[in-house]
Amino acid sequence: MNYIFYGLIVLSIVIGAINGKLPDVVNSILTGAEKSVQIAFSLIGIMAFWLGIMKIAEQSGLVEFIAKLISPITKRLFDEIPPEDPAIGNIAMNFSANALGLTNAATPMGIRAMQDLQKHNIDRKTASNSMCMLLAMNTAGFQLIPATVIAVLVGIGYKNPTEIIAPTLLVTSFTFISAIIIAKIFQRFSPPQTQQSGGQE
Partner 1 sequence: MNFQPVLNIISLWALPFIIVLILTVGMVKKIPIYEVFTEGAKDGFKVAINIIPYLVAIIVAISMLRASGAIEMIANSLSSVLARLNIPADVLPVIFVRPLSGSAALGLFSDIATNAGATAYSTKLAAVMVGSSETTFYVLAVYFGSIGIRKFRYALWVGILADIIAAIMSIVVCSWMF
Ranges within 149-168 binding partner 1 (CB under 8 A): 149-150, 152-153, 155-159, 161-162, 164-168
Q: Long-range contacts: 159-163, Cβ < 8 Å, 24+? A: none
Q: Residue 122, interface with partner 1 (CB under 8 A)?
A: no
Interacting positions 64-93 with partner 1 (CB under 8 A): none
Give the whole-angstrom CA distance, residue 125 versus residue 118: 9
Q: DSSP letters of 47-58? A: HHHHHHHHHHHH
Q: List the interface residues with partner 1, window 27-66 (CB under 8 A).
A: 27-29, 31-33, 35-37, 39-41, 43-45, 47-49, 51-57, 59-62
Q: Give the integer Cα–Cα distance in Å for 114 and 103.
A: 16
The whole-angstrom separation of Cα 85 and Cα 71 is 10
State the nearest-atom distance from the C-beta of 6 to partner 1, in Å. Answer: 9
Q: Which of 68, 80, 83, 172 binds partner 1 (CB under 8 A)?
A: 172
Sole binder of partner 1 in the list 8, 69, 73, 122 (CB under 8 A) = 8
User: Closest separation between CB of residue 68 and partner 1, Å?
Assistant: 15
Looking at residue 156, what DSSP letter applies? Answer: T
